[in-house]
Each structure stands twice: as structure tokens, then as C-alpha cells.
Amino acid sequence: MKRFTVTRARKSPHDSIRQASPVRILLDYRPALRQRTGVGEYAHELARALVDTAPAADAGASEEIILFSASWKDRLLSSVVPGATVIDRRLPNRLVNLAWHRLGWPPIETVARGRFDIAHAFHPLRIPSRHAAQVVTIHDLDFLDHPERTAREIRRDYPALAGLHARQAHHVVVNSETTASSVHHRLGVPTKRITVCTPGAPDWARREREPENGCLLFLGTLEPRKNIGVLLDAYERMVYASPDIPPLVLAGAQPRSAASLIGRVTSRPLAGHVELPGYVDAATREALFRRALVFIMPSHTEGFGMPVLEAMTMGVPVVAADRGGLPDLMAGAGRLFEPDDSPQLTAILDELLRQPEARARMRDAGWARAREYTWRASADRLRQAWAQAIATQRGARG
């Protein structure tokens, strides 16, 4: 596979903004406000890393990380990321999105009642602003190919607007080389305005021994894009062949679209073999990985695949679909299968359950691979992206 090279800035935004006051960087924290799934976890951990690595005020250049939220029901606590400033507005989130996405109004300066140097959205659509350099994050482009897999608001706005917003943004941040290539070729964004900012590995102690009574684990929202039906097909075959097989745990939020899947796993022959704990927080997620013999990610597409990195960090062997950013992330540390080939997945899982030495080799390879990803490095790359955004904005102003 040809590697996609993205130009990265060498300066920080502090080099680009010559002013006595701190650089004010607004991050749209709404994806992390309630249940932190992949995008929310990415936003939350980046915010933590940015605060932890912020330049000292006495160094002559400082920054203020500002977390923005708008919701009618849910409040953003000031303690969510110690050291960050919180701006929480009691506004209907859907109305804010409709106005921002379709009208480009009102500007963030009006909504948040302040002036900012950077306005960074953790999704593909820009935050309207009079003054700030606008940055968007694109995690994958599955919404272009399969809008039917998405929620209503994403289905309404992303396919129609993402390309225009990405080209108009001062900079685009992506989570992998795979996504960078897609954004460049499919949305027409120049490579110099794309920065790859991968997630970091969690700060977990690696597991030295497997559990005695382990499970097979999937973690993620139970949505069509995750291709869980193929995993159930493979596992059902294994249940028929060996009724004492380890349980399968499907951990993650359960949207309305998961109703038929839930009905299947609570009926024969899967009833009693599959656990559905629902959405799990960070502490519970770590405990689940400690319990897992094998982690399976069967998704039709993943821009990156944070749960795969979490599994490798813990020392859990990974079996993943040969699609999107997953092959690059694993880099030979796990096993790949065709996402429509459930017999192939059955054969791989059966082999791994029978061969502890194979699992041990994958554990060691996963540990080595996971060490290459840190949130500190992610924060550094994000600051480089902001510097490029500010330079692009100034160039456009002449």
C-alpha cells in the first residue's frame, strides 16, 4: 500500500501569534459531553494532553484551552478537564447544529461571548467564526458511501456539506494516513492543509497473564457500520461446535438501530452465550480488556480504531477487518480477515482459542506497536496543525 505523506508544521501557534495575552483555543467538547464513544474519547483525551503539555506562562507564550458545549439538558462540569476553561451554554444542541451547518450563523463569538484564535470542531463541519482560524477533524468518510448507517443529523448534513467545509476550513485534522488519503483524493483538500493526529494509547498497566475464564470481546457502539452481524454469524458457528466456548461480550451504546441485533443475541442459540453490558465508562472498559482472551473489530470501515489500540496496550490479541485504517494501525501485530467472510473469522477465532502460544506472540507484538502512540505526541501534532491554520488564515487575508 502506498503511504500518504502529509506536510506537518514545525512551529507552534504561539510562534504565529505575537501578542501578550494567551492564545485562546476553543475546542468543541460536545462529542464528549455524555457517553464518550470513539470521537468523544478522542476529544477528551486530547484536551487532557493539551492542558498537561501547555507551555508555561513565564516562557513568553501561553495558551488557554477552552472547552465549549451547548445542550438543553446536559451540563459540562468545570472539573471535567482540570486546567481547562469551560463555556457551557443552555441551548438546544440540534438547533445550534442546524443553524451552524445550514446558515453558518451565529458566530461562535456571539454564542460563547468571547474572541478566539482557533475554533476547532471534532467533526467535519466548521464552527462559524468572525475572527478564529477554523479547524475541522475528519475521522472517516463512511457517511459518504453509506449514509444509511448514520444517525439522522449526520445523514442530513455530512454528505452534503463535509466536502465544502473541509475545503473552506483553514486546516483539516485526520486520525490516520488512510483518512488523510481519502480526504485529499475524495474531498479535494490540498495535502499541505491536512495534518495526521493519531490517538494515543491509554495509560494502562499491561496485562502479564491471561484470565482463567476469559471472553471474546467487541467494544464499540452497536451500529451497522461495526458489522456485528458477521461476528455473530462466526460466533454462532462456534457455539454449535462447542457449547462451552468462552462468552462473547458486546460492550457499547445501543442505539435504536441495534434492536434486531439485541433480539438475535437474546434468542437461541446465542441466548446465554452473549453478554450486553451497554455503554461502559473508562474504568469498566479497562476491566473488560483485562478479561478478554481475544478482541474482535469487524467494522466495515474505521478511520483509526481506538479500541484496537487499547486492546494492544493491554496485551489482548486482536482480530480485525482488513479495511480502513485497521491494517496500518496493527502493522502485523494482529490477524486480519475479510469483513464479509464469517467462515474465515470463525476459523481464525477457533485457531486462537486452541493455541495459547499464538496469542502470546500477538500479545508481545501488540505491546510493541502500542508503545508508538502517545497522547503527548498527539497534542504536539495538533499544535502544529493550529499553527498551519493560523498561517493559512493570514495568507487568505493578505
Superfamily of domain 13-199+374-397, CATH level 4: Glycogen Phosphorylase B; (3.40.50.2000)
Kindly state the average pLDDT of the residues 303-321.
98
| pLDDT of the residue at 318 | 98
Q: Can you tell me the distance from the alpha carbon of 309 to that of 286, in angstroms, rounded to the nearest whole number? A: 12
CB 65 within 8 A of CB 84: yes
| pLDDT of the residue at 229 | 98
- Name the β-bridge partners of 172: 136, 194
Confidence at 1, pLDDT banded by 50, 70, 90: very low
Among 295, 352, 357, 348, smallest CA distance to 326 is for: 295
Give the 3-state secondary structure of residue 275: strand
Q: 366: which 3 cell numbers?
A: 501488540
Q: Domain spanning 215-370 has what CATH number?
A: 3.40.50.2000
| pLDDT of the residue at 152 | 87
| pLDDT of the residue at 397 | 83
Q: What is the Cβ-side half-sphere exposure of residue 88, based on CA atoms within 13 angstroms?
A: 14
Residue type, 176: S
CB 67 within 8 A of CB 87: yes
CB 191 within 8 A of CB 5: yes
Confidence at 398, pLDDT banded by 50, 70, 90: confident
| pLDDT of the residue at 20 | 57
- Residue 353 CB: number of other CB atoms within 10 A? 18
Q: Please report the DSSP string for 175-187 in residue order.
A: SSHHHHHHHHHHH
Q: 358: which 3 cell numbers?
A: 499464538
The residues near 163 (Cβ < 8 Å, ≥ 6 apart) are 186, 187, 188
Confidence at 271, pLDDT banded by 50, 70, 90: very high
Q: Can you tell me the distance from the alpha carbon of 106 to that of 96, in angstroms, rounded to the nearest whole number? A: 9
Q: 21: which 3 cell numbers?
A: 495575552
Give the 3-state secondary structure of residue 168: helix
C-alpha angle 101-106-111 in degrees, rounded to nearest 5: 115
Give the 3-state secondary structure of residue 115: coil
What are the residue ranges of CATH 3.40.50.2000 in the chain? 13-199+374-397, 215-370
Q: Please report the DSSP string for 146-164 in residue order.
A: -GGGS-HHHHHHHHHHHHH
Q: Can you tell me the distance from the alpha carbon of 236 to that of 239, in angstroms, rounded to the nearest whole number? A: 5
Q: Can you tell me the distance from the alpha carbon of 152 to that of 259, in angstroms, rounded to the nearest whole number? A: 17
Q: Indicate the average pLDDT of the chain.
A: 94
Q: 30: which 3 cell numbers?
A: 460536545
Q: 87: which 3 cell numbers?
A: 463555556
Kindly state the average pLDDT of the residues 253-257.
93
Give the 3-state secondary structure of residue 300: coil
Confidence at 103, pLDDT banded by 50, 70, 90: very high
Kindly state the average pLDDT of the residues 91-108.
97
| pLDDT of the residue at 21 | 80
Kindly state the average pLDDT of the residues 77-81.
97
| pLDDT of the residue at 10 | 53
Q: Can you tell me the distance from the alpha carbon of 120 to that of 138, in angstroms, rounded to the nearest whole number? A: 11
* pLDDT at residue 9 greater than cutoff 50: no
| pLDDT of the residue at 151 | 86
Q: Can you tell me the distance from the alpha carbon of 276 to that of 264, in angstroms, rounded to the nearest whole number? A: 12
* pLDDT at residue 77 greater than cutoff 60: yes
* pLDDT at residue 8 greater than cutoff 50: no
- Tens of pLDDT along 156-209? 999 999 999 999 999 999 999 999 999 999 999 999 999 999 999 999 999 989
Residue type, 330: M
Q: 116: which 3 cell numbers?
A: 478566539
Q: Do you find a cis peptide bond into 269, omega within 30 degrees of 0?
A: yes
Q: 223: which 3 cell numbers?
A: 451500529
Give the 3-state secondary structure of residue 68: strand
Q: What is the model's pTM?
A: 0.94
CA dihedral 366, 367, 368, 372 (to 10 degrees): 100
